[in-house]
Structure 1
Amino acid sequence: MKPLILASGSPRRKELLQQVKLSFEVKVSTIEETFDPKMNPEEIAMNLALQKAEDVARDNRESVIIGADTIVVHDGLVLGKPKDVDEATYMLKMLSGNTHYVISGVAIVSGDRHVTFFEKTAVTFWELTDEEIEYYIKSGEPMDKAGSYGIQEVGALFVKEIHGDYFSVVGLPLSKTVRELKSFF
């Protein structure tokens, strides 16, 4: 069986693959994450995932590589990881009391073959107070997460409801990923 590699340094993605007892190693992609602003959000997530997987695949031609990227979209605006506290505050205020979409793109690459797909999940936040936002930002949790929050940690307290794949919001649509992986082995 070919070795499996996760092309991501995300501890959440690593935990998800461990949860389903997959044997894999982690090799973090070093690409500069860039995309064509004309792409729709789903294309952006899949394209970034593919860039990451192909980057790691260059030195691991005999392996199966999983690349993933998660973005948050609110009113057509793509929200990546915040650059600073002010941007995190802005994003959380924007999401407060509203529904946004979390799109996780996945690419699986092996040799000359690849597949890409995405999952799109609707997440609705409660109305957030300034104090809640300030407390959350001081925790440091939002600073390395798309849209400035993580659903699996303290950010879960902001979520009023979710429609779609929870694991996709965490960072990897687990069930679909494993189903797609089967065709590579």
Structure 2
Amino acid sequence: MIYLASQSPRRQELLKQIGIPFQQLVCEIDEIPEVDESPEDYVCRMAKEKAQAGWTVMKARDLPEMPLLSADTSVVMGSKILGKPDNPEQACDMLLSLSGNCHAVMTAIAVTNGHKTIVRLSTTQVQMTPFDRARAEAYVATGEPSDKAGAYGIQGYGAILVESIRGSYSGVVGLPLQETADVLSEFGITPWHSL
């Protein structure tokens, strides 16, 4: 059993997929890039800060100590981080900036037991198919982009906008499973032993 410091239903589904039992902890942190912070550093810092915040919540609630997993995902175009859109118009603009272009999806995971914290980064290159504003608006109208970094979800309707990927599909969804399994094993948790 581990704690998952994330409200993402996609991360919950991915943990279930590899047979990791978990208890969800809700914690909030401010997600603001620092001046001159690289996207890689930002994503890793966010994952680590979420793990630390989750550990603080666990201690405050006097819960049993177990390893805690957190993650952060960013869509990166060049050196610009595309977060979650604030409104449908911004979602359309984000999507059109990705249309026909290649971008990176960076997901960092952090696992802590209160004594040590391990952070790993997964970067996947995603090539989007060219599409016009009408298609972007139709996709935005589904409601799917509203809570997604970069305004799309590869595991949903947004899959039709993706031409190809080079890297971790589960990392694009929000939790790179290979890296997650590797880090959890360093805390004595092996996915297939939980099945």
**Aligned partner letter, 1:44:** Y
Partner of 1:60: 58
- Per mean C-alpha deviation after superposition, the further-off stretch among 27-36 and 159-168 is 27-36
Q: Which residue of 2 aligns with 1:184?
A: 187
One-letter code of the match for 1:30? Answer: E
Q: Distance in 1 between matches of 2:175 and 2:23?
A: 16
Runs of 4+ in 1 over 4 A off after TM superposition: none
Q: What secondary structure does 2:181 align onto?
A: helix
How far residue 146 of structure 1 moved from its aligned partner, in angstroms, is: 0.3
- TM score, norm. by length of structure 1: 0.96
TM-score (norm 2): 0.91
Superposed CA deviations along residues 49-95 of structure 1, whole A, max 9, x for unmatched, are 11111101013351211110000011211100001111111100000
CA distance in 2, matches of 1:59, 1:48: 16
Deviations 1:23-59 (A, max 9, x none): 1111122112233132211111111111111101013
Report how many residues are paired: 183
- Does residue 46 in structure 1 map to residue 49 in structure 2? no
Aligned ranges 1:19-168 → 2 under 5 Å: 19-60=17-58, 62-168=65-171
Distance (whole Å) between structure 2 residues aligned to residue 91 and residue 6 of structure 1 = 29
Q: Percent identity?
A: 39
Consecutive unaligned residues in structure 1, runs of 5 or more = none
